[in-house]
Structure 1
Amino acid sequence: MEKETKLKIKTQNDEILGSETVFEKLRGKTPWIFGKKIRKPKVVYPKVKLPRMDMPLPARSLIIIIVYIALFLLQTGIVYILYRTPMAIGANQEGQPIILYPDIQDAFIIESIVASIFIFLCSLGFVMLYQASKYVYNKKIAIRILVIGIILIISTFFALQAMISIKLGNPLFNV
């Protein structure tokens, strides 16, 4: 009688798809090599609640500002500046200041900072393009933000191209 009820319960579990746990599926297939004299060990983990420290999270805008500052520092080439220790600004034979180093592999500190400002403005332009998509129903604001973002991207691209052209000694924009 007991075997029949166990068999019925087992067939009911088999009929319900997904009712078996992984342990139940593996129990019949896993061999026990020690026979019936030594039983399988059961590990019971204690349920311990550790005290948790609740710290207030900083505001989301503060985290974004910190990320932007870190990106700006990385874009300035801070690792290059710390490792190579280049000059802050140079001078030619007449003593006039040179902002752009004449070689493409090296740079003055001021040149790195100016280039990073341009790259940061370009990144800001892409952020503005993203922000413009949030104002779908307010067309005037969306178009203004979109135009400002596109102007930032294009102007910084041409400014960086002009810097590279001057560094290489080529005429500005091959004109």
Structure 2
Amino acid sequence: MEKKDVSGSETITEKLSEKTPWIFGDYLRKPKIQTPKFKRKISLPMPSRQLGLLVIFIILFILQTGVLYFIYRQPPAIGATQEGDPVFIFQDLHESYIVEGIVASILIFVSSVGYLLLYQASKYVFNRKIALRILVFGIILIVFAFFALQYMLSIKTGTFRQFLQQIIQNYA
């Protein structure tokens, strides 16, 4: 039995096309491209993993604050009542103030740090005391961020005010 010569451009699609010619036929094939070879290699320093993670978190933080929404809609940074008292949370679900977006993004960031701490706790399997501290702190951050975001959402939808009114009616 003779081995079949496999060229460098043969792909899984080509191998499948031999068995299923009615689907792929002779039209779907990876082209043979020769990239230029440079004599002098360019060596760029590789950033550390911590720097990469920091850049990713900064980009996520900026996107989570709603920068694109703020650029497009141009809402005020903070609102005010008719009496002049400051309002940090817009009462409509589909609108927001700049401060509200920043606070929500900070809370999502805190929750993300909590999940990173859960991951870090798994690295200290043999040191139970440190792993437990990191694990508990991560869970506390996640739960705090969750309930703070739920509180903000309940203020936006008005359910928190209704809830407080029901408590006052029941116990007053």
TM-score range, shorter chain: 0.7 to 0.9
Task: Indicate how the Cα distance of structure 1 residues 52 and 139 shifts in structure 2: closer, same or farther if over 3 A, else same.
Answer: same
Q: Corresponding residue for 1:21? A: 5
**TM-score (norm: length of structure 1):** 0.72
Matched, 1:105 2:97: no
The worse-fitting range, judged by mean Cα deviation, of 104-113 and 123-132 is 123-132
**TM-score (norm: length of structure 2):** 0.73
Larger radius of gyration: 1
Within 2, Cα distance between the matches of 1:173 and 1:122? Answer: 28
Task: Indicate how the Cα distance of structure 1 residues 120 and 22 shifts in structure 2: closer, same or farther if over 3 A, else same.
Answer: same
Task: Indicate how the Cα distance of structure 1 residues 73 and 173 shifts in structure 2: closer, same or farther if over 3 A, else same.
Answer: farther
Task: Indicate how the Cα distance of structure 1 residues 20 and 171 shifts in structure 2: closer, same or farther if over 3 A, else same.
Answer: closer
Q: Deviations over 1:29-82 (max 9, x none)?
A: xxxxxxxxxxxxxxxx8x955422111112221111111111111111111111
Within 1, Cα distance between the matches of 2:37 and 2:113? Answer: 48
Within 1, Cα distance between the matches of 2:162 and 2:138? Answer: 23
Q: Corresponding residue for 2:84? A: 95
Note the residue ranges of structure 2 that are not aligned, 5 or more in a row.
8-33, 168-172
Within 2, Cα distance between the matches of 1:74 and 1:22? Answer: 47
- Shift in Å, 1:167: 1.2
Note the residue ranges of structure 1 that are not aligned, 5 or more in a row.
1-13, 24-44
For 2:5, the aligned partner's letter is T
For 1:22, the aligned partner's letter is V
The worse-fitting range, judged by mean Cα deviation, of 131-140 and 57-66 is 57-66
Within 1, Cα distance between the matches of 2:56 and 2:120? Answer: 18
Q: Corresponding residue for 2:29? A: none
For 1:158, the aligned partner's letter is F
Q: Which runs of 4+ in 1 moved over 6 A?
A: none
Q: Corresponding residue for 1:147? A: 136
Aligned length: 137
Residue of structure 2 aligned with 1:169, choices 132, 150, 158: 158
Residues 151 and 160, structure 2, Cα contact 8 Å, conserved in 1: no
Q: Corresponding residue for 1:67? A: 56
Q: Deviations over 1:136-158 (max 9, x none)?
A: 00101110011011111111111
Q: Corresponding residue for 1:5? A: none
Within 1, Cα distance between the matches of 2:85 and 2:95? Answer: 19
Residue of structure 1 aligned with 2:149, choices 160, 163, 168: 160
